[in-house]
Amino acid sequence: MLQLSVLKEQTDLAIAGLTKKHYKNAAAEIAAILETDQRRRKVQLENDDVLSRSNSLAREIGNLMKSGEKAKAEELKAETAELKAKSKTLGEELATLENELQQMLVKLPNIPHESVPEGRSAEDNENIFQHGEIPTLHEGAMPHWELIKKYDIIDFDLGNKITGAGFPVYKKQGARLQRALINFFLDEALKAGYTEIQPPILVNEASGFGTGQLPDKEGQMYHATEDNYYLIPTAEVPITNIYRDEIIPREKLPIKNAGHTPCFRREAGSWGADVRGLNRLHQFDKVEIVQIQEPEKSYEALEEMSKYIQSLLQKLELPYRVLRLCGGDMGFTSALTYDMEVYSAAQGRWLEVSSCSNFETYQANRLKLRYKGENGKTQLLHTLNGSALALPRIVAAILENNQTPEGIKMPKILHSYLGFEVIK
């Protein structure tokens, strides 16, 4: 959630930023927010004056009672009763205005960083780095949805029988590949200084609000209605919410956590090559990295996270590219996002496998996540996260890019985790 102070003091910057994200009516909505805040402050000031007068009268009544001037004291008591009634009315009006202001603020997305390029869609994203050679496959090479049937390692029909579309069953060497990747990603995260977390995969509304999934993405989340819990779309939600309503001692910063969880997303897209097989699922596994940083260090941390994620792709011997997302393709809560995409040779296209973002104070403002700066003043922290990595498309690229007529070769880095070198 954007800070009200930013909208007041940097109105033009906020309007320009929201316009870059192609948010409609930015100027009008910010003007409405500022007008509502002005009304709120006017009512607050009036209520403060009423309470001050009431407190003053209470002291005066006490003195009159002590001096035996009961008649005059009773007159003032009547005035005090009127003031209390007025304060109650003003308090109710204030609560209404504060709720109205909150509802208006949560609708606004984050302001993009100045380096975010202009653009409306994925076609306008900026390719800032590319690594590795595109593999040349043998004649008769297959996309992964055919390979998994040939080698009997992932079964979509079984998943559909047990649950529904988008819930695959991993088995045999496919299950071992999943486990190997999870352990590899977690081990690498530990080496990079992250603390491993195993959080719940169900969260309450406050957690969904804290990281920005609610009220923006209710339709994309599975909802356990009886208990009003939500299945997590990413480990970012529970891990970041560990620090909700906390003031973090400065000496404990930065906080670097990593966690593996299953992830659940209701939207899986329509039928087509871009969503076939492992390309888009309702349930998938992912290792997430999360950092909580001092504001002046957060963009340095974002670059560090991007390079760390790239190192995983390099160790898996996958060709990849790094995109800086344009304003129109960015997430609601992000100030700057890098997407990492691997090249899928059999499909002949790039697949997103990681999204790495700096949210600046947007999530922290919702979470009330703060620290005390050098001047002793309490300030909001910056939050960051990244997929390191999401498994389905990584598996798809490994299977497709490494296929041979004799079998599918596994990346060397995974051999010790797998216990085999080739899927046959």
State the binding site: 234, 265-267, 288, 352-355, 385
**Which positions make up the binding site for L-serine?**
234, 265, 288, 385
Cα separation, 114 vs 406, in Å, equals 50
**Two tokens, residue 377:** 């003043």
- In DSSP terms, 248 is beta-bridged to 371
- For residue 156, count other CB atoms closer than 10 A to its CB: 19
- For residue 308, count other CB atoms closer than 10 A to its CB: 19
**Cis, peptide link before residue 389, omega less than 30° from 0:** yes
Cα separation, 364 vs 381, in Å, equals 6
Distance set, CA 213 to CA 52, 67, 231, 288 (Å): 41, 62, 11, 16
Cα separation, 149 vs 256, in Å, equals 39
Do residues 234 and 208 make contact, with C-beta atoms less than 8 angstroms apart? Answer: no
Name the DSSP letter for residue 135: P
**Which positions make up the binding site for ATP?**
265-267, 352-355
Cα separation, 166 vs 59, in Å, equals 70
Do residues 388 and 287 make contact, with C-beta atoms less than 8 angstroms apart? Answer: yes
**Strand pairing class (229-231; 370-372):** unpaired
Helix (H) or strand (E) holding 256: strand 255-264
**Strand pairing class (223-224; 403-404):** unpaired
Write the DSSP assignment of 31-45 as a string of letters: HHHHHHHHHHHHHHH
User: What is the residue whose two structure tokens read 């009127």?
Assistant: 82
Do residues 125 and 325 make contact, with C-beta atoms less than 8 angstroms apart? Answer: yes
User: What is the residue whose two structure tokens read 């929201």?
Assistant: 18
Cα separation, 322 vs 126, in Å, equals 8
User: How many residues belong to the chain?
Assistant: 424
Helix (H) or strand (E) holding 94: helix 70-105
| Torsion, Cα of 229, 235, 239, 241 (10° steps) | -40
